[in-house]
Amino acid sequence: MSQLALAAEAAVSIRHLCFLETGRANPSRAMVLKLAEVLDVPLRERNILLLKAGFAPQYPESELDAPSLAAVRDALDTILTQQEPFPALVMDRSWDIRHTNAAARRFFAFLQDGQAKTAPGPANVLRRMFHPDGVRRHVTNWPDVAAALVQRARREAIGVSPTSAPSGSSTRYWTTQGCRPRCGRSTRPRRCCRSCRSSTCTVAGGSTSSPP
């Protein structure tokens, strides 16, 4: 969004917006919230912007197991149950798996059957996909899936707080575990061309699923 478009959407003069950008003026609490709303900044990042500007956070944040979110948990359980007999899971912004339905548990158990080791650490989609002891060996179109996952994780990580981005233990496998663009033009995910996009993960045995 251009400075002119932002000023128009926020109903503020370009001069004042320029002063805010260069530090010649300090934004009010209302201005921080207004600009964040126009830019469609996630609520968690809006709290960070407020703190940086010297204001208290506006939006409360609770853990998923908090009593106040009981209705949300019930809704998630209902959605997961309705997906049976197909695997379904709930993951957070860090790709950590928070809930699964029975079909997903059976599916992952089937893929891990006979393996001496499993991916270390908490259940995480990226770790389970990229770790040598994860499920990548069952993905027949691995280069396509790896490129798509890297691009999505990288896109989601841009502009978010460090605590919300995928952890280093998940991302460190990207460039060392066979994650190369399908086109072969580059081995670095950030330079992968647009043709390296995929939306389907083909699992050995004929079943397919879309990567989360």
Please write the tens of the pLDDT for every residue from 48-75. Answer: 999 999 999 998 888 888 888 899 999 9
Q: Look at residue 128 and give its three-state secondary structure.
A: helix
Question: How confident is the model over 112-159, as pLDDT tens digits?
Answer: 887 666 777 778 888 888 888 788 888 899 999 999 999 888 887 765
Q: Sign of the CA dihedral 57, 59, 64, 70? A: positive
- Of the two residues 211 and 166, the one the predictor is more confident about is 166
- Residue 148 — left, alpha, or beta (φ > 0 → left; ψ -120 to 50 → alpha)? alpha
With cut-offs at 50, 70 and 90, classify the pLDDT of residue 162.
low
Distances in Å between the Cα of 125 and the Cα atoms of 48, 61, 170 are 26, 23, 9
User: Tokens 């043709």 correspond to what residue?
Assistant: 195
- pLDDT: which is higher, 22 or 1: 22
3-class SS of residue 73: helix
* CA 16 to the chain's CA centroid: 34
What mean pLDDT comes out for the span 86-90?
Answer: 94
Provide the pLDDT for residue 199: 36
The pLDDT, as a whole number, for residue 105 is 92
Model confidence over 195-210: pLDDT tens digits? 333 334 434 433 334 3
- Of all residues in the chain, the percent with pLDDT exceeding 70 is 71
* pTM for this predicted structure: 0.56
* Per-residue pLDDT at 91 exceeds 70: yes
Cα torsion angle, 159, 163, 166, 169, sign:
positive
Q: Are 104 and 88 in contact (CB under 8 A)?
A: yes
Task: Name the pairing type of β-strands 201-202 and 97-100.
Answer: unpaired
User: What is the pLDDT, as a whole number, of residue 161?
Assistant: 54
